[in-house]
Amino acid sequence: MGPFLKNLRLRPIISFAVALLLTVWLLPVASCTAGIDTKTTSTPISADEVIPGVTVNQSFFSVIVLPDTQYYAETYPQIFLKQTRWVLENKERLNIIYVTHSGDIVNQSNDVSQWEYADIAMSVLDGAVPYGLLPGNHDQPDGNFNKYFGPERYEKYNWYGGHFGTTNDNNFEVIGDNLLFLNLGFSPSPEIIDWAKGVLEKYPERTAILNTHSAIDTKGILTAPGETLRALYQEPNLDLVLCGHIHGKGSAIIENGAHRTYLLLADYQKFESGGNGYLRILTFLPEKDVCVVNTFSPWTSTYISDADSHFEIGFPAPE
């Protein structure tokens, strides 16, 4: 399988066929929700809502968070592909401006076939929706992350801001006139944190969202990598930090005077089929200075509706 998939870029017809097969492969799994220990619902949207908590007459934009996809790349690539195709299909309806991946893209970093599956899934967004990725601990250290998602893949886009050093392990994107997305790989070094601090300070007028593989646990306590990021939490334009790595959901608030930085953990890898396709939809309402968080699976077409999966946080409107 590995050598065959390795040549997909040179054989676009075969690549398309593989992608098509991934969509229908093991289709019965789509109806399985075993292992989900929180309340789910398939029809939570009222007639005047575009998504739970957001009405059709409100001004909004959305950011999609893809938590750890390692088991999709390893065993359920059709779910990974379903996620990104759903993003593309709902880009206009939800006004999706950006997609961010929290790392652990694959489960075994030296397995080329897993990277090929990830490449097929993420390629759906190429040239259509800006997105950023970062390597989790499962994506290191053999270099395959940069083979498939290196700087050269993104340097042609005007929204790509740059990277630290010679790799794309740590990168940032500038979206629209007032947003900055910063992606830091697992357990960044002091040099990388200094670089990230410099990026935040270079764009003080932009509201920043940081995604890194590990920052808090399910109790909202900073992990060891999260502790090393304290210098960044003090930056006045960093309003939100996203992470995965630890299965479950968690949140925390770090206050610096009047400024608040929210930290949100989302990771569903221990659910059925490596996560059952659940992702986070962050919908920002500038007129209300809030962000509505929803947890949805394009694979099962269900929301998780408990208080830790559907909620609002304060988010100052980008100026």
- pLDDT tens for 167-219 read 999 999 999 999 999 999 999 999 999 999 999 999 999 999 999 999 999 99
For residue 201, give both structure tokens. 């300070």
Q: Where are the beta strands (DSSP E) in 67-143?
A: 96-101, 131-132
- pLDDT tens for 209-231 read 999 999 999 999 999 999 999 99
pLDDT of 282 higher than 80: yes
Question: 2-314 falls under which CATH superfamily?
Answer: Metallo-dependent phosphatases (3.60.21.10)
Q: Are 181 and 98 in contact (CB under 8 A)?
A: yes
For residue 41, give both structure tokens. 């619902």
Q: What pLDDT is recorded for position 182? A: 98
- pLDDT tens for 82-104 read 999 999 999 999 999 999 999 99
For residue 242, give both structure tokens. 């996203």
Q: What pLDDT is recorded for position 165? A: 97
Cα within 13 Å of Cα(213), Cβ side:
23
Q: Are 285 and 120 in contact (CB under 8 A)?
A: no
- pLDDT tens for 4-20 read 343 344 434 444 455 55
- pLDDT tens for 216-273 read 999 999 999 999 999 999 999 999 999 999 999 999 999 988 899 999 999 999 999 9
pLDDT of 31 higher than 60: no
Q: What pLDDT is recorded for position 39? A: 54
